[in-house]
Structure 1
Amino acid sequence: MLAVFEKTVANSPEALQSPHSSVPAYALKEGYLANQFVSKNPNSVTLNLGSSGLLAYSLDNHDPLVPRLFAVVDDIFCIFQGHIDNLPFLRQQYGLSKITNEAIMVIEAYRTLRDRGPYPVDKVVRDFHGKFSFILFDGTKSTVFAASDADGSVPFFWGTDAEGHLVLADDTEMVKKGCSKSYSPFPKGCFFTSSGGLRSYEHPKNELKPVPRVDSSGDVCGATFKVDAETKREPTKMPRVDSSQNWAGHI
């Protein structure tokens, strides 16, 4: 799976930018990274998100133990990889049918947050038990929502290209092509949103501290993000509001 988002839609952390990216990489320019993805995955599907970026996925050559799913509901797109072990319980909790798969589950959980906000975002993601990573894009609100499981069980990487666009993918080689050395594994137990940036859902009260990542050549290659036990976040309060209110700005 692959996603590239304009920096106006998803502002990637500055710490991902490597000073040693000697050859600038441009993920969106002339459809470069999308073409690379299609070349490697001939049966893939690419979704042009207009000025927001692109999504691409292939259902070929995936690990049967870590299946890849795609779903779209009301202009909300989700690429999901892995599985949610407690999916039957979550279907009941959200009042969904038995045919609801993981990708649709993520969309419905996001819609609940966006429209009603009854729970903190970290609790919603923490309630997903299993091995997974996902990328969600809300076309109506131009909002990105991405996350990885607590153990980082599913390969998932992110980076930033020379123009500051955010790149997310399950293929490290694809991220390298789009970001040069400005990339790293997506932090386990964390989620990213357009409005809130990167947060830990396992330690929601703590800030995340970037730690430079050094490759075998001794060059700084993006950053890993660790929970800073010394620094606390300001709590995010979500008062109950009418369901007509939009919570996308709080996610």
Structure 2
Amino acid sequence: MDALPHTADALPRAADGYTALAVMQDGIISRLQDLVLQADDAQDFFQELAVFSASLLAPAGGEVHCNVTVARRKRPVSIASSTPRARVMDDLQYAFGDGPCLTAMRTGKTTYVADVAEEQRWPEYVQAVSAHGVGSILGVPLHLEGDSSAALNIYSTAVHGFSPEDIARAELFGEQSAKTLRLELRLAQLRDAKEDLEAAMKSRTAIDIAVGVIMAQNRCSQESAMAILRKASNSRNIKLRDVAAGIIESVSPDSALRTHFDE
């Protein structure tokens, strides 16, 4: 994916009035649209989103590590991380079964741990991340659709690493990125459906051609040819499309199949 033409530093760092807020919101929307348009695939988009999140949401002069977590059927998965360190922090959270990111997804509310050393809600988890140099954590929910939920998990090495303005900016970013994330997930579903349809059509094409070969060789009806193909599939415990492919290869030097879905 090509580098974006602008950096997150170009966006306003605080909502100083309506104009600054509007400019920041427009800048976020424009950048997220670029991510969707320039991404080669869904994983590329998720990775760029995590990196952009870390760049945008880092306090002035500070550094943060971001994860994008999606839960489907109540099972959380880190789909992208701005750094390997961020992925380790999320893996720890999953291992302990709860934490700020999972709480943000479950409740739909921003969850802030200002000082992990003083946090009482998840004592084992915060002790583990503290050993990795984490001082504060921010979990921002990303509202999706159906039984899916998501969140940004943002780790800072500093204690009290996020000001109220930083949290407000993260929540604004969460609202806009959730919309883009929903769009990208739908596009990914459409791409998967298209690939499944192409595979099904190629399988159907192979079977139809093999039935035609059997009809020609045995001078039988289409129904009888299909019965022969199924019998061969059952007796050999091989999938019908694989038996069909073998028949085609036996009679054609070019076994490549073409369908009207080919691009």
State whether TM-score is above 0.5. Answer: no
Greater share of helix residues, 1 or 2? 2
Q: Which has the larger radius of gyration?
A: 2
Greater share of strand residues, 1 or 2? 1
State the TM-score, normalizing by the size of structure 2.
Answer: 0.27
